[in-house]
Amino acid sequence: MVNAMRIAVAGLGTVGAATAALLRRNAPILSQRAGRRLELVAVSSRDRRKNREIDLSGVEWVEDAEALAARPDIDIVVETIGGSEGIARALVTAALRNGKHVVTANKALVALHGQELAELAATRNVALAFEAAVAGGIPVLKTLREGLAANRVYEIHGILNGTSNFILTEMRETGRAFDDVLAEAQRLGYAEADPSFDVDGIDTAHKLAILTALAFGRQVDFASISIEGIRSIDPTDIAFASELGYRIKLLAIARQTERGVEQRVHPCMVPIKAPIAAAEGVFNAVVAAGDAVDKVLLVGRGAGGGPTASAIVADLVDIASGRIAPSFGIDPRHLLPPEPADIGERVGAYYLRLKVEDRPGVVADIAAILRAQGSSLESVVLGGRSQGLPVPLLLTTHDARERDMRQAVAHIAALPSVTETPCLIRIEGF
């Protein structure tokens, strides 16, 4: 057998610790598959005393993670520290510069600096692999890069954040409050260090930027993504969606249009029968649509130690076997520049939740505004009457152009009879 592949793991949080444990637990089968041993040589993390319940006997503990990048006895650096800047970026850059392979779960880093890092890896002839950065345990990057290599991919949509899917599912199934479910997601190791990244759609957008680059052969373009999170969703929306035959999901959508590539992240109502609606709790799902294959659906656990370590170790096996793929599927110097399309051209149906004064003519005023902007009402539900207090008004519309709909909502919000900021949710057919 050839020499062992010598690995260092920087960052022993949920994911780093699970990676170290998996390397040990499945060592014999990993050696068979890679044709050489995968040897964990060193680890680095902030707090040495923390009980991680993993066996690190024979593994060197290094205080300074960045020092791993310069060690001649290390072939691959696994970065599970997180964050787009600071030590994670410095470590990855230094390791690549020193000719070491890098495997990372860091979606923020790849979404913001993926192009320069992929170019660095290409010039040094080493791997920069990040399967774990998108959709946890689902091998979606490999599927796009290899399994769907024959296709012109024209659309990707997916649920890419386990924490927010967990929150939306629990709120619907148990009626639990948002904060309570978020705290549980943190306990289970699903949420980001800063959970606003999860609930505000930023984590989903990081992952979408990576998927878009791979699917459409373009440079990562996080800055152009239109992003909305799930904070404005309330139990009324979830219940009304169920009544109408929908689920509310935080979706990432990328489409090749005639105007360029549309990238957006926002809550959506999707039909309960749509395959993607079946992904509940911490599960993620991705649909890739290609000109030859039609639609492919991938579903699996999108967060947590085991699933994420599964993706990291798969990358390690590939590298140890000599299967070194370009990070974004093609030589990074040949990726096309971004070509963002304005999402104002989206055409689709909408759900609108309003709080209005309970008096005659209110619905007629709203209908008139929508009509003037080229839209029309499909259904209207007025919440229970309550002694002169404002009541919820729930509407769905027929297809309208996003730009017109936003204009209509701005006019509606300015009506004296509308007492709260409206909540607008897109309805996607799929």
Binding stretches for ligand HSE (CB under 6 A): 136, 161-163, 190-192, 198, 203, 302-303
Judge whether 106 and 82 are in contact, CB under 8 Å: yes
CB atoms within 10 A of CB 340: 17
Residues 6+ apart with CB under 8 A from 138: 284, 286, 298, 299, 300, 301, 302, 307, 311
d(CA 129, CA 135): 14
Nearest CB to ligand HSE, comparing residues 34 and 287 = 287
> Burial of 188 by CB count in 10 Å (0-12 exposed, 13-18 middle, 19+ buried)?
middle
The answer for 404, left when phi > 0, alpha when psi is -120 to 50, beta otherwise, is alpha
Judge whether 254 and 215 are in contact, CB under 8 Å: yes
Nearest CB to ligand HSE, comparing residues 11 and 290 = 11
Nearest CB to ligand HSE, comparing residues 15 and 343 = 15
Beta strand spans in 272-373 (E): 283-290, 294-301, 347-356
Q: Residue 334 — φ and ψ, nearest 5°?
A: -105, 5
Nearest CB to ligand HSE, comparing residues 196 and 376 = 196
- Is-catalytic flag, 207? yes
Rounded to a whole number of angstroms, the minimum distance from the CB of residue 105 to ligand HSE is 7
Cα dist from 11 to 162, 312, 372, whole Å: 21, 13, 56
Rounded to a whole number of angstroms, the minimum distance from the CB of residue 103 to ligand HSE is 15
Rounded to a whole number of angstroms, the minimum distance from the CB of residue 308 to ligand HSE is 6
d(CA 311, CA 317): 10
Q: Which 3 state secondary structure label does DSSP give 109? A: helix
Nearest CB to ligand HSE, comparing residues 194 and 345 = 194
d(CA 388, CA 393): 14
d(CA 403, CA 407): 6
Rounded to a whole number of angstroms, the minimum distance from the CB of residue 13 to ligand HSE is 11
Rounded to a whole number of angstroms, the minimum distance from the CB of residue 194 to ligand HSE is 10
Catalytic residue among 100, 107, 207, 249: 207
Rounded to a whole number of angstroms, the minimum distance from the CB of residue 100 to ligand HSE is 24
Judge whether 178 and 171 are in contact, CB under 8 Å: yes
Judge whether 78 and 10 are in contact, CB under 8 Å: yes
Nearest CB to ligand HSE, comparing residues 163 and 327 = 163
Nearest CB to ligand HSE, comparing residues 282 and 370 = 282
Rounded to a whole number of angstroms, the minimum distance from the CB of residue 383 to ligand HSE is 33
List residues with catalytic annotation: 207
